[in-house]
């Protein structure tokens, strides 16, 4: 009878261990998901800002090109906004 009690106790301990292990894995997956989504949200916000600045620079250049015709002397082209990150195109 004592052996059955020990087996039952060991079985219960094993089941509790497996349940707590799966729960901790689920918690880790949830926290990983939250970390990934927060990072993606930040990257999307930065990309939106860069797209906005790039659009403004393009519109400034387009306005300058309309003012400077084929027979008028061309002044310097407008500089892009200081916040615009042009490193992907400078390589």
DSSP string, the chain: -HHHHHHHHHHHHHHHHHHHHHHHHHHHHHHHHHHHHHHHHHHHHHHHHHHHHHHHHHHHHHHHHHHS-TTSPP-PPPPPPTT---GGG--
Task: Answer for the pair 57, 81: CB distance below 8 angstroms, yes or no.
Answer: yes
pLDDT at 40: 92
pLDDT at 28: 73
Please give the average pLDDT of every successive group of 10 residues along the chain, which has 91 residues: 70 78 74 87 91 89 80 78 77 58
Task: Answer for the pair 84, 50: CB distance below 8 angstroms, yes or no.
Answer: yes
Instruction: Read off the tokens for 5.
Output: 């009690």
Task: Answer for the pair 78, 62: CB distance below 8 angstroms, yes or no.
Answer: no
């Amino acid at each position: 009878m004592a052996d059955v009690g020990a087996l039952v106790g060991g079985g219960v301990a094993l089941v509790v261990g497996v349940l707590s292990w799966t729960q901790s894995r689920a918690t880790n997956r949830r926290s990983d998901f939250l970390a990934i989504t927060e990072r993606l949200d930040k990257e999307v916000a930065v990309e939106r800002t860069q797209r906005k600045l790039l659009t403004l620079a393009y519109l400034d250049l387009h306005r300058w090109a309309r003012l400077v015709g084929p027979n008028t002397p061309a002044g310097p082209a407008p500089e892009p906004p200081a916040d615009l990150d042009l490193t992907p195109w400078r390589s």
